[in-house]
Amino acid sequence: MAYSEKVIDHYQNPKNVGTLDKSSKSVGTGLVGAPECGDVMRLQIQVDDATGMITDAKFKTFGCGSAIASSSLATEWLKGKSIDEALTVDNMDFVEELNLPPVKIHCSVLAEDAIKAAINDYRVKNGKEAIKFEESVVH
């Protein structure tokens, strides 16, 4: 299967690979997927407590090129967004931007889930309720 140029570019030059201090109250961490499924994404956001803006985002991903590209793209999109804006990111945004074929849609769902999980982790850490999301369908 041929990958799109954008996937290849993110795979070869991934943006924002790394680790934020997960014990910090201003950092939200989302860890989604499972090793036996062949995909694990960890997405972290650094939030400015005063403004609610995401000032930094990092990822590490175990998975195929599309999973790596989706998480790299997610970090790029998240930086500079508010939490509320970040919640509007949809898995189909990844599919369109990266030209993911149908068999790779689960990578985009995983990226969306990772964003939501990171936001919820941040909310819970700061005494807010976790947002309940509908179960993702495509897995």
Partner 1 sequence: MLKLPIYLDNNATTPMDPRVFEAMTPYFMEHFGNAASRNHPFGWEAEEAVDYAREQVAKLIGADPKEIIFTSGATEADNLAIKGVFEMYASKGNHIITATTEHKAVLDTCKHLEKNGAEVTYLQVQRDGLIDLKELEAAIKPTTILIAIMYANNEIGTVQPIKEISTIAKKHGVLFFTDGVQAVGKIPVDVIKDGIDLMAFTAHKMYGPKGIGALYVRRKNPRVKVTAQMDGGGHERGMRSGTLNVPGIVGFGKACELARLEMEADTKRISILRDKLETELMKLEEAYINGSTEHRLPHVTNISFKHVEGEGLLMGFNKNIALSSGSACTSASLEPSYVLKALGLGDDLAHSSLRFGLGRFTTEGQIDYTIKAISETVLKLREMSPLWEMYKEGIDLNSIEWAAH
Which chain residues interact with partner 1 by CB under 8 A? 1, 3, 8, 11, 14, 17, 19, 31-42, 60-65, 67-68, 103-104, 106, 110, 113, 139
User: What are the φ/ψ torsions at residue 91 (nearest 5 degrees)?
Assistant: -60, -30
What whole-number distance in Å separates Cα of residue 18 and Cα of residue 119? 18
Rounded to an integer, what distance in angstroms lies between the CA atom of residue 77 and that of residue 103?
23
In the complex with partner 1, the residue whose CB is nearer, 19 or 55, is 19
Q: What does the DSSP 8-state code read for residue 63?
A: S
Distance CA(58)–CA(17), nearest Å, equals 6
* Least distance in angstroms from the C-beta of 63 to partner 1: 5
Shortest Å distance, C-beta 102 to partner 1: 9
Kindly list the catalytic residues.
Answer: 37, 107
Nearest to 72 by CA among 61, 81, 63, 82: 61
Which of 18, 48 has the CB closer to partner 1? 18
For residue 122, the minimal CB distance to partner 1 (Å) is 18
- CB-based contact 104:63 (threshold 8 Å): no
Nearer to partner 1, 13 or 84 (CB): 13
Q: Which is nearer to partner 1, 35 or 127 (CB)?
A: 35
